């Protein structure tokens, strides 16, 4: 039932060779908060997974053990783990309930999906299989309540997704066991309505949120978002915090802005699953299956698109030294920045080199996908800030309200920054290079930039990194970069500029990518 995250070994609580329900224990497959799963073999040689749940660790644990066993008897589907039997162990003075299930050997869904080389079609097939499993489960009155990649395995034998672990599942016939506000589950997959209930009923004795079908569907949306982008839409902690505000009130960054390989039709499904209310999502898993099947029937070249290229052995990072000046421009592709290496006109003084400051922060928990191919950006001979050419409004496109709202909140239209650096070695710069080509913003972004954020097309805002002025800075490939500034003043380093609708200390978060002759910066948040 659980993938062999750890190979079978002889250090399990039960010795190898122990007989349970007629099967012989061969090793441990995995351990969780409520149970241990063993690999067992029948006298005929059939290998299966046996979950051992303690009965002597309090009435709640015992009731959960019985609940999981009973829920398993109600479910039968190729994309649901199949229950083969159950009983108590030892026969005399039993201390455990054992549940024997079919062995599903294979990686978890995230390990499978983010490994590289998976097409859009392959990923959506796995999501359809999960939706099918939930459709059967919900029809039987069973909620999973902990849908996440760790509980979805991709079978090595069939290639299909299998939903496992109903240990915190629920059925109307089952009594409520949780004494806290929320049912057991994982905060990052918890639906907005659950967080809203928790806030509205905080401190009320006996207040307990009752999950519904919409909670399982929202969790599928989080799973799909991670498969498409390699990151969570939001990361709320167990006891709330700043990211809970985002879950409740912010639209997630549209997946195609994080990973340009994501087709817009797939993005629509993902954003609908992540809607703030269950009414705005699909009415049920059956409706989700129908939508995914219709999407598959309309497949085109996008369905064969690889979401993440095959990973190659990383090259040795190339470093660039210099003094940094960030110039934030306006009017090119949203969330895309370009960093230029300046000429030798601004030469560092001849003095002992101070300890370099690395323009790199700790890597995020979820690594973003590789960036889209950056436009061919030229080096400038002069060291003045480079103004981006003004772009015309793209033709209006039919987009959903969710994507427009997300663009309003996350798509600021800041193209990144032009970066000038004093090189330790002379750079061969041609006398003239063409200006970087314009690139259209997503639909609605230009209007938002002008009317909502007060940003003028072609305008250049500059932020002088005074904290590193006069110091050598190591720009390392694949570095994470954050740029802050006094945005409300809108003043550049020459004292010019107008106020924009960004609060002071707003941070633009992105990554640096070192290429031959230039450094690219791509801002995504």
Angstrom distances, CA of residue 411 to CA of 93, 256, 505: 63, 12, 17
Kind and range of the H or E element at 96? strand 96-102
H-state helical runs in 203-361: 213-229, 242-249, 255-258, 264-273, 285-297
d(CA 387, CA 391): 12
pLDDT for position 508? 64
What are residue 320's DSSP bridge partners?
A: 475
Greatest distance between any 2 Cα atoms in the chain: 90
Domains and CATH numbers, the chain: 19-102 (3.30.200.20), 109-304 (1.10.510.10), 316-525 (no CATH)
Q: Is 31 helix (H, G, I), strand (E, B) or coil?
A: strand
Q: Phi/psi at 338 (nearest 5 deg)?
A: -125, 130
Three-state SS at 47: strand
- Is residue 51 marked as binding? yes
Please, which residues bridge with residue 519 across strands?
339, 514
| Omega prior to 90 cis, within 30 of 0 | yes
Tokens of 186: 């994982």
Is the pTM higher than 0.95? The answer reads no
Q: What is the pLDDT of residue 203?
A: 87
Residue whose C-alpha is closest to residue 84's, from 41, 126, 54: 41
SS (H, E, C) 266-282: HHHHHHHHCCCCHHHCC
Active site residues: 146
Nearest-angstrom CA–CA distance, 1 and 214: 25
Per-residue confidence (pLDDT) for residue 510, from 0 to 100? 64
CA angle 258–259–264, rounded 5-degree value: 100
Q: How far apart are CA 255 and CA 149, in angstroms?
A: 18
Instruction: Supply the pLDDT for residue 104.
Output: 95
Non-local CB neighbours of 209 within 8 Å, separated by 6+ positions: 181, 182, 183, 194, 197, 198, 201
Q: Walk along the chain (525 residues) in steps of 10 and give the mean pLDDT of each run.
A: 39 82 94 85 96 77 70 88 91 90 95 94 98 97 95 97 90 69 90 96 90 98 98 76 86 96 97 98 98 91 88 38 33 34 33 32 38 34 37 41 50 37 37 49 64 52 43 52 51 42 57 58 61
DSSP-derived letter for residue 468 is G
CB atoms within 10 A of CB 387: 15
Given a contact cutoff of 8 angstroms between Cβ atoms, the answer to whether 109 and 223 are in contact is yes
Torsion angle, CA of 20/23/29/31, rounded to 10 degrees? -10
- CA–CA separation, 159 vs 103, rounded Å? 14
């Amino acid at each position: 039932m659980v993938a062999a995250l750890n190979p079978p070994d002889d250090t399990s609580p039960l010795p190898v060779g122990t007989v349970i329900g007629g099967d012989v224990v061969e090793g441990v497959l995995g351990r969780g908060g409520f149970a241990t799963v063993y690999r067992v073999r029948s006298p005929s040689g059939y290998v299966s997974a046996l979950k051992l749940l303690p009965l002597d660790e309090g009435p709640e644990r015992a009731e959960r053990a019985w609940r999981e066993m009973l829920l398993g008897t109600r479910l039968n589907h190729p994309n649901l783990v199949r229950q083969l039997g159950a009983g108590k162990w030892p026969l005399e003075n039993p201390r455990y309930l054992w549940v024997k299930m079919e062995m599903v050997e294979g990686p978890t869904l995230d390990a499978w999906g983010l490994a590289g080389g998976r097409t859009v079609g392959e990923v959506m097939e796995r999501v359809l299989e999960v939706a099918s499993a939930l459709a059967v489960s919900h029809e039987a009155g069973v909620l999973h309540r902990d849908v996440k990649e760790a509980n979805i395995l991709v079978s090595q034998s069939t290639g299909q997704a299998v939903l496992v672990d109903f240990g915190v599942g629920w059925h109307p016939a089952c009594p409520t066991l949780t004494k806290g506000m929320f049912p057991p589950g994982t905060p990052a997959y918890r639906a907005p309505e659950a967080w809203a209930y928790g806030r509205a009923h905080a401190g009320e004795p006996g207040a307990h949120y009752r999950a519904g079908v919409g909670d399982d569907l929202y969790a599928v949306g989080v799973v799909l978002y991670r498969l498409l982008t390699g990151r969570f839409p939001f990361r709320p902690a167990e006891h709330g915090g700043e990211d809970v505000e985002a879950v409740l009130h912010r639209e997630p960054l549209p997946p195609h802005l994080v990973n340009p390989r994501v087709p817009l039709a797939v993005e629509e499904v993902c954003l609908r699953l992540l809607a703030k209310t269950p009414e705005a999502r699909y009415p049920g898993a059956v409706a989700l299956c129908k939508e995914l099947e219709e999407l598959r029937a309309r497949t085109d070249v996008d369905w064969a698109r690889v979401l993440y290229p095959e990973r190659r052995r990383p090259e040795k990072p190339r470093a660039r030294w210099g003094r940094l000046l960030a110039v934030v421009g306006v009017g090119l592709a949203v969330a895309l920045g370009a960093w230029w290496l300046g000429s030798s006109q601004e030469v560092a003084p001849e003095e002992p080199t101070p300890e370099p400051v690395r323009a790199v922060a700790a890597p995020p928990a979820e690594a973003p996908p590789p960036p889209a191919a950056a436009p061919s950006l030229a080096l400038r001979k002069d060291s003045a800030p480079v103004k981006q050419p003004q772009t015309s409004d793209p033709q209006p496109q039919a987009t959903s309200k969710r994507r427009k709202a997300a663009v309003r909140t996350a798509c600021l239209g800041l193209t990144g920054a032009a970066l000038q650096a004093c090189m330790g070695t002379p750079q061969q710069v041609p006398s003239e290079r063409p200006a970087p080509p314009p690139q259209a913003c997503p639909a609605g972004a230009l209007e938002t930039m002008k009317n909502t954020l007060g940003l003028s097309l072609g305008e250049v805002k500059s932020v002088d990194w005074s904290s590193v002025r006069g110091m050598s800075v190591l720009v390392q490939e694949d570095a994470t970069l954050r740029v802050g500034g006094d945005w409300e003043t809108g003043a550049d380093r020459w004292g010019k500029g107008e106020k924009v609708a960004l609060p002071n200390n707003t941070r633009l978060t992105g990554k640096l990518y070192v290429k031959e002759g230039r450094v690219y910066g791509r801002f995504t948040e």
